Amino acid sequence: MSKDLIIVESPAKVKTIGKFLGRDFKVAASVGHVRDLPVSDLGVDEDQGFAPRYEVIKGKEEVVKRLRKAASQSERVFLAPDPDREGEAIAWHVAELIRDKNQNISRISFNEITARAVREALASPRPLDRALFDSQQARRVLDRLVGYKLSPLLWKKVKRGISAGRVQSVALKLVVEREKERRAFEPREYWPFTARLAAAEPPEFWVGLWKRGGKAVEPGADPVADRDQAEALEQVLRGAEFIVDKVEEKKRKRAPNPPYITSTLQQDASNRLGFSAKKTMSLAQRLYEGVELGDSGVTALITYMRTDSTRVAKEAQDAARALILERYGKEFCPAKPRTFKAKGSAQDAHEAVRPVDVGISPDAAARFLPRDQLRLYTLIWQRFVASQMAEAVFWDTLVLVRAADTLWRVKGERLLFPGFLEVMGKGEDKAKDQAAELPGLAPGDVLRLQELGFEQKFTQPPARYTEAGLVKELEEKGIGRPSTYAAIISTLLDREYVRLEKRRFAPSELGVLVSDQLSEHFSELMDVGFTASMETKLDEVALGRQDWMDLIADFAAGFYPLLDKAGRDMVRAARDTGVTCDKCGRPMVVKFGRNGEFLGCSGYPECKNIRNFTRDEKGGLVLRDQDTGLACDKCGRPMVVKGGKNGEFLGCSGYPECRNVKNFQRGPEGEIVLGEQAGPEVVGKCPDCGADLVVKRARNNSRFVACSAYPKCRFARPFPTGVKCPREGCGGELVEKASRNGKVFYSCSRYPECDYALWDWPVEGPCPECGHPVLVRRAARTGVVVACPRKGCGFRRHED
């Protein structure tokens, strides 16, 4: 007897679904897409309504052969790829390839991989959704037209091998525009004041200066704008009487957040776990497809993770409420199930991201899941359970204190009932915004000034985007869809248009050039509003309200003339650097090579002079070819400092005629010390052989301690900082290391068991404001400062 065939995307789903369907079904996997546009050419017939030409993806021939054979041996075929546009496209292409073997083809979809959900889907199969497929097809053709038409233009005018994309280029523009805002930013000085006061009863408490002379004290608009004004105010305050002016007390309720959608999951995983969007989606895919849970076998843990809907099935709400009643009690369960309103642009095709079985708690799953999968599942489980719990209740106190012509403010907060915070454990919701503990106060109370503090600060430029921030911006502006955010960010990084610096996106010079060229010549394509409106039109195609070929034709009617004009008008990208070639006198321009950006003579190929550079905070060029006063021992020309992928080195200024290079170290004042001139720094005795231990520098620019008897003795260990790892119970020490691109950082010696790391040199704490056991030393505009690395703590002081 022939079996019915179910075709899914992933081999992992085969095992999960096969476990509970029994012998009447055979389950096979397409292993993702099986057909696509050709790699070698455009693959779109521009003269025939932009009809696409599909072909089997290279390497998928055997997969297609197996699917065709399985279809020929089955009575019915159920296509069950993921329930979204990409999944519909996979189903459509598989159907086209097997239709001559079996015409009894249906489409099924499910939001969670459970026996109930799969059997319900099998009981109500549907035809393939042509409109949904056309929407994906339109997106694919649009992206192919933009990519294949724009990329060759960029090869000629910027750098060979780079690419442009319809959505990625707009995301790049957001990063570039933010960087330009930062470079144009002019910092302004301000002097915040704090005071420690005592009432008749303890505890003492801190207040912050809020107004002076009725004018708000704010960064950049501070009536205390320089040291003279600050010291004058200090004298006034030390002789003034601090009196309670006003006390406001009220009860405040805080409702839980809705369960996760794709974008909020990516944002929280980035902010709280440090995961990239790509890593988050990869881990979520595994949890959705199923993992081994001991005797339970392969079990799917979460619902489909590509969604923009906060809707939750009634049975899931009921299960969550039952768990809340059992585990936390009646007062934690609201009278009615919570529902959440979706945003206007939401497709609402799938439920929110939630646990399939809320009864499988993170504690129950802990011994079966790898660490990162468990951390993500915990995030999803806690958010979902919290979303169905009662509100948290706080008692808020606001106290205003008057002294001379100044008004001071402090907020107090007391948790009356934890509500949904109970399930969050030590997560962000309990740790966030804990305000001061205040004594009993009433208007007119006279307070004693115990301590008065003030410090110089400067306004800060707009922060660069974190991955979470960029995802939020893309979502709010309607750029892309939940399923595309991770791919957009990965493409920007892979193309080296942006780089991550301290977990924030900074555009490369190449990224700035590409963005500026496209913005100048394709202003509509790079317009955020235009890109968002295109997403809306693609949604209209999915709903059957817009013909996809008409959509492409309308786009091409505006795009092709701009493409022709850009081909004529776009000049080869060359930034005016203001640097003159020291060999021929012609201007130096920014160029791009395998190891990054460099300055090259505009007279190339007649003059092949190059120089390395970096950028300062304003984006200005800082030449790295420092004159060392040393002569090349091969040709006699000056040796200069250059930079490569492994850090700084000395290179002959006569390059490329002379290729002499030397390694060097920096002395205490930053001076250049050659290896033969610098005596090794001895830091102890080798525990293996008794010889001196000396400090050495690795190729990636980090220091390490090694035996001076090398290669006879190979003892080595990371360079210690002398600061213990702040993680509770860790016991490790922070040591110096370097990333692949030579950027030094400081991480726990017990890595990978402990992944604590800092970008700045660690200093023994604790922080006087939050108690964090480690501080860091870093350079600032006003000199070296010691600061707290803990997020949300603003402690910072100048180094003594």
Hey, which residues are catalytic here? 304
CB 657 within 8 A of CB 669: no
612 DSSP assignment: -
Q: Count CB atoms within 10 A of the CB of residue 606.
A: 8
Which residues lie below 8 Å from residue 116, measured CB to CB, with a gap of 6+?
none
3-state SS assignment for residue 173: helix
- Amino acid found at 289: E
In angstroms, rounded to a whole number, what is the distance separating the alpha carbons of residues 648 and 607? Answer: 24
* Element (DSSP H or E) covering residue 506: strand 504-507
271 DSSP assignment: I
Which residues lie below 8 Å from residue 667, measured CB to CB, with a gap of 6+?
673, 678
- Whole-angstrom CA distances from 651 to 218, 603, 629, 631, 677 are 50, 22, 12, 10, 17
In angstroms, rounded to a whole number, what is the distance separating the alpha carbons of residues 693 and 708? Answer: 6
How many residues are there in the chain? 800
Structure-token match 């990333």, residue found: 739
CB 327 within 8 A of CB 365: no
The phi-psi region of residue 788 (left if phi > 0; otherwise alpha if psi is between -120 and 50; otherwise beta) is: beta
> Of 511, 498, 427, 433, which is closest to residue 469 (Cα–Cα)?
498
Give the CA angle between residues 568, 572, 576 to the nearest 5°: 130
Structure-token match 């690419």, residue found: 163
3-state SS assignment for residue 635: coil
CB 485 within 8 A of CB 262: yes
> Of 384, 322, 314, which is closest to residue 355 (Cα–Cα)?
384
> Could you tell me what percentage of the chain is helix, strand and coil, using 3-state DSSP and rounding each to the nearest 5?
30, 25, 40
632 DSSP assignment: P
269 DSSP assignment: I
CB 146 within 8 A of CB 105: no
In angstroms, rounded to a whole number, what is the distance separating the alpha carbons of residues 283 and 267? Answer: 14
In angstroms, rounded to a whole number, what is the distance separating the alpha carbons of residues 141 and 148? Answer: 10
In angstroms, rounded to a whole number, what is the distance separating the alpha carbons of residues 443 and 401? Answer: 9
In angstroms, rounded to a whole number, what is the distance separating the alpha carbons of residues 659 and 672? Answer: 20
In angstroms, rounded to a whole number, what is the distance separating the alpha carbons of residues 289 and 11? Answer: 9
Task: Show the beta-strand stretches assigned E in 165-306.
Answer: 189-190, 193-198, 205-212, 215-216, 242-254, 291-292, 298-299
* Element (DSSP H or E) covering residue 446: strand 446-454
Pairing of strands 4-8, 77-79: parallel
Q: How distant is the alpha carbon of residue 176 from its chain centre?
A: 16
Structure-token match 């610098």, residue found: 678
